[in-house]
Structure 1
Amino acid sequence: MSIESLVLVANDKGGTISTLRVEGKRFARVAVSEVGAGCGTFAVDRANDLVYAATRTPHPAILTLRLDRETGALTEVARREVSDPVAYLTLVHDTLLAASYHGDWGASYPVADGVVGDPATTLHARRMHAAVVDPRGENAYFVSLGDDLIAQRAVAVDSELVELSEPAVHCTPASGPRHLVISGDGRNAYLLTEFTAEATRFERLEGGRLERRETAWAFDRDSGLHQSAYGADPLAGHLIWGADLALADGERWLLCTERTESTVVAIELDEQGHFTGRTVLSRTEQQPRGLTVSPDGGLVVVVGERSDRASLYRIVDGALAPLDRIEVGRGPNWVRFV
C-alpha cells in the first residue's frame, strides 16, 4: 500500500478506528481496530508508522498505536492517561500538542520512541478546541471556543511553549472559534467558527503572530440558519454548526463543513491565499464533523457523524464530485490520509 492510499477514520461512538484504502475512485475496507469509545482525534507519525489517538474509556488517555501498513491494523504500544478527554492532537517533531475542550486546557508533551512524556507546558482557556502548528514547526496555536481567542506560542526546546509578544489574538465575540489550518508556505492561517460559520484569514507576521485580514461566510445562506450559541441545540433550533476545514487543490480552495445543513462550502483563494469572493456549495454526509484532503490535493473524504459513513469526492472547480461511499463505524468524526 502506498502512503497516499491509506485513510484512517476515528469512530467516536463506536470506539474504533477504521482503516480504508483508496484504489483509484473506490474505497476498500481494510481493517477495524478497537481503541475505546471517545476516540475523536489522532495525529500520525508517518515516518515511524505510529498513530497517537485520544480516547475517553476506560479513562481519558492518549494511546500510541503502531500501524501495520499491510494489514491496516493498529496495535497499542503505549498509553498516557490524562485528566480530561482530548479534542485535538497534533504532532510536531518530537512534541505532541493536545487541546482539551472539557478540561479547558492545551498542553505540549515530549515524545520519545512512541512514549508520550509528562506535559512540558500547560495553558488554560475555556473550551479549547484545536492545537495546530505552522509547516516549519516553529509556532503553536491553540483555539479557544469559549474565550473567542487563539493563543500564540513559540515551540522551544524540550517541548516547551513560549508566549509570543502578543500571547493571544481575539476573535469576534460569541462566534465560537473552532478549527484552524495554516497554508503550506506559512503565510496565511484560516479559522472556522462554530456558531457563525465564518472563515477568517489571518496573515502570519514575523515571529508567527497572527493578524486578522478578511472574513467569508461558510454555510448555506439560503437555508434560513441563524447564529448559534454555547449550550444551544443546533438541530432543534436550526442553528449554524460549523465544524472542520481543510485546504485543497493546490490550496486554491478552502473547504469548510457545516453540520446542520450538511454542507461543504469551498472558498476560492487567489495566488496569495486571499479570498476572491467566490464560493461553491456542495451537499454531503449527514452532520459532517470531519474532512481530509489527499496529499496531491485532488481527493476529499468527508465523514458524517449521523450517517456513519465516509464519502470520497474529487474536487472539480470547487464542487465535490462523488466517487464512492462506504460505511465505517458509529459516530465518525475525524479522518486523515496516512
Structure 2
Amino acid sequence: MKIKMIWRAIAGAFAFAALVNAAQAATYVYVSNADSEDISVFRLDQSSGALSKVETLPVGGTAMPLALSPDHHHLYAGLRSKPYRVLSFAINPLDGRLILLKTSSLAESMAYLSTDATGRYLFSASYGGNLLSLNRIDASGLAGDPQQVIPTGPMAHAIRSAPDNRYVFASVLGSDAWLRLKFDAVTGQLTQDAVPAYALPPKSGPRHFVFSPDHRFTYLIDELDGKLHVLAFDAANDTAKPVQTVSIVPADFSGDKPWGADVHLTPDGRFLFASERTSSTLASFRIDKKTGTLTRIGTWPTEKQPRGFNIDPSGNYLLAVGQLSTQMSVYRIDKQTGALTALEHYPVGKNPNWIEFARFEGTL
C-alpha cells in the first residue's frame, strides 16, 4: 500500500514536470560518498556551471557504484558493506530528490553497476568476489535479487552492454582480460565467450571502458600501468581490435607507480578525459573521429585520488571527486580545444567516488 501511494505521488510529479517550460529544464548531480554512507544531490546551473545543494541522503552502508536508468527516472546505488544491497531510487524530476522504493540483494560487493539499453536488467562486477552478476529490473524500474552469477578471473572491475545490446563486455583486472558475453535480452541470460574479446599485456589491470557515440571505438583504461587503449569496435560483429595505446600519466610523473581510475568522453565524441590517482590529475585528449586515435591536449590537477569524475549531458562541464578529499571540483570544458577551466569547489561527503547526472528536458 505504501509503495502504491509513493508511486501515485511520483506519477503526479512526472505529469506536472511535463508542463514545465523548456527554459526550466534541469540537470541534477548525484555523488556517492563511501565513508559517510550517503549520497550528495545537487542541481547544476547550465549557464554558469554553479551547483546548488538539494539534499544529502543517508543510505545506511558504503555507497559506491551508481547507475541511472536509460530514461533517467531511476537511480541504482550499490552498497559495498554487508549485507550487499542495491537501492532503487525514483528521481523526482521537479527537484532532483531521491525516493527510496526498494532494497534488494547483490551477489557480492560490487565495484560497478550499469543497466542494459532497455533498462530491464542491472549488471554488476565484483572486484573482491571475482564475478559478474545480473539482477532483473521490473516494469516499475525496481531492481530485484540476483538472477545470474558468472565466475571470472580475479578482480572483475566493470561491465557494460554494447550499444546494440546483443553483447555485454567486462574488464577483469587480475587476469588482464576484456571479456565478451552474449546477452539474451528476453530471458536475461549472459553466456561468456571461451576466449576474451581482447587480451591485454600482463599486469596492465584493465579497469573502466566507454564506447564512442558513433559506436566505432572503445576506450579502455588500465589501473596498473598508466595506459589507455583505443580499440576499433566492429558493431556488426561486436568484436574489437587494437588501434593505439597512450599514457595517461603527466610528463613530469614521479610516483612509484601509476594508478589509473576513470575514463569519459564528451557527448559529441570530440574529447576524452582520464583520471590518474597517484598524481591526482585529469588528462585530456582530442579524438580523431575517423581513426579513433588520441592526441594529448593537457593535464590538469584535481581532487586528491580522483577515483570518479563525469561529464554533464551538455558536454559543457566536468565534475571530479577524490577519495582523499571531501569536495568536488567543477570545470568548464572548452568545446573548441578540450581544455579545462576550474570554476568552483563544493563540499561532499567522505570518500566520494562516483558521479552521475540526470537530465530532464522541458516539453513546451
TM-score by shorter chain over 0.5: yes
2:148 aligns with 120
1:158 equivalent in alignment to 2:187: yes
Aligned residues: 326
1:333 equivalent in alignment to 2:353: yes
Alignment of 1:69-148 (within 5 A): 69-92=93-116, 93=118, 94-112=120-138, 113=140, 114-148=142-176
1:8 aligns with 30
2:246 aligns with 216
CA shift for structure 1 position 249: 6.0
Contact 1:153 1:167 in 2 (8 A): no
CA shift for structure 1 position 74: 2.0
SS at match of 1:6: strand
2:12 aligns with none
1:307 aligns with 325
Distance 2:253 2:72 in 1: 45
SS at match of 1:106: strand
Change beyond 3 A, Cα 1:197–1:3: farther
Distance 1:100 1:174 in 2: 19
SS at match of 1:207: coil
Distance 2:148 2:267 in 1: 37
1:196 aligns with 225
CA shift for structure 1 position 36: 2.6
Structure 1: segments with no counterpart, 5+ residues: 226-237
1:270 equivalent in alignment to 2:288: yes
Deviations 1:54-94 (A, max 9, x none): 00344111111222233433232212223421110001121
CA shift for structure 1 position 108: 2.0
- The amino acid of 1:77's aligned partner reads L
Larger gyration radius, structure 1 or structure 2: 2
Q: Identity, % of aligned pairs?
A: 27
Deviations 1:179-231 (A, max 9, x none): 01111121110000011121101111232112122111111131223xxxxxx
Contact 2:105 2:145 in 1 (8 A): no
Structure 2: segments with no counterpart, 5+ residues: 1-16, 18-23, 359-364
Hey, which of these two has a bigger chunk of strand by percent? 1
Contact 1:121 1:160 in 2 (8 A): no
- Give me the TM-score of the superposition, normalised by structure 2: 0.84
SS at match of 2:134: strand
Contact 1:11 1:330 in 2 (8 A): yes
Contact 1:120 1:158 in 2 (8 A): no
- Give me the TM-score of the superposition, normalised by structure 1: 0.91
Change beyond 3 A, Cα 1:149–1:167: closer
SS at match of 1:312: strand
1:177 equivalent in alignment to 2:206: yes
Distance 1:249 1:81 in 2: 33
CA shift for structure 1 position 334: 0.2
Contact 1:27 1:325 in 2 (8 A): no
Deviations 1:12-37 (A, max 9, x none): 11111111111132111111111133
Instruction: Choose 244-253 or 74-83, whichever is displaced more.
Output: 74-83
RMSD after superposition = 1.9
